[in-house]
Every structure is written in structure tokens, then in C-alpha cells.
């Protein structure tokens, strides 16, 4: 089954404790992206990658890092999480102009 898989689905952590959210896709898409979704602000792009070893900032990259060492994986790294990074995160992969989303990771930073 074609899918984008994120882990974990839910995460509660403390301020400053480094964390990684994994994302994997099995559709051989070159494009992958991370979004955060917040009430009243909609979906905002954090980082995206057009291919292996090629990443670029989206609209809200501060406080996040990404890497694209393999085509199928695109982890999101929060080196020192803060409460304002509490949000619902989505990974997506795409072809042409269409994006396919994972099920989301709800992150709470206390």
C-alpha cells in the first residue's frame, strides 16, 4: 500500500530535550516536506527536499532541522524543543503538484 508513515503519532516531551520525528514513504517520490498545523494558522511548510541531499527552508524553519540521506526517509529534528513548537506535524511526499500526507504527529512540549 502506497503510504507516508510518521512516527511517533503522539509525543510529550520537556523543553530542551532533543527529539526526532521520522518520516518514510514507499512511493519513490523525490519531493518530501514537513508542515505544522496550528489553529487559525493552517498548514505551514517547515522544510522541504527536492531530492537526496537537497533540502530547503519553508515558511517557518526556525528551531527545526532536517536531513535527506535516502530517498524514502526525511526525519524532522528538534535540537532544543520549546513550548511554541507544540503543534500537529505532517510529513508529505509528492509528485508533480500533488502531495500525499502522513497521519500526523501530535507534539506537546512542556
Q: Which residues bind another protein (CB under 8 A)?
A: 4, 31, 33, 35, 40-45, 48, 50, 56, 90, 92, 94-104
Question: Of 26 and 80, which has the nearer Cβ to another protein?
Answer: 26
Q: How far apart are CA 64 and CA 25, in angstroms?
A: 20
Question: Of 34 and 81, which has the nearer Cβ to another protein?
Answer: 34
Q: How far apart are CA 82 and CA 86, in angstroms?
A: 8
* Nearest-approach distance from CB 28 to another protein, in angstroms: 15
Q: How far apart are CA 102 and CA 36, in angstroms?
A: 12
Question: Of 4 and 17, which has the nearer Cβ to another protein?
Answer: 4
How many secondary structure helices (H) and strands (E) does the chain include? Answer: 0, 11
* Nearest-approach distance from CB 14 to another protein, in angstroms: 25
Amino acid at each position: 500500500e502506497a503510504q507516508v508513515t510518521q512516527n511517533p503519532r503522539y509525543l510529550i516531551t520537556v523543553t530542551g530535550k532533543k527529539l526526532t520525528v521520522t518520516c518514510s514513504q514507499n512511493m519513490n517520490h523525490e519531493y518530501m516536506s514537513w508542515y505544522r498545523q496550528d489553529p487559525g494558522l493552517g498548514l505551514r511548510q517547515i522544510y522541504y527536499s527536492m531530492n537526496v541531499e537537497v533540502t530547503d527552508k519553508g515558511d517557518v524553519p526556525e528551531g527545526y532541522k532536517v536531513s535527506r540521506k535516502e530517498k524514502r526517509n526525511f526525519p524532522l529534528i528538534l535540537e532544543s524543543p520549546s513550548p511554541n513548537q507544540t503543534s500537529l506535524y505532517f510529513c508529505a511526499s509528492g509528485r508533480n503538484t500533488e502531495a500525499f500526507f502522513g497521519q500526523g504527529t501530535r507534539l506537546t512540549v512542556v
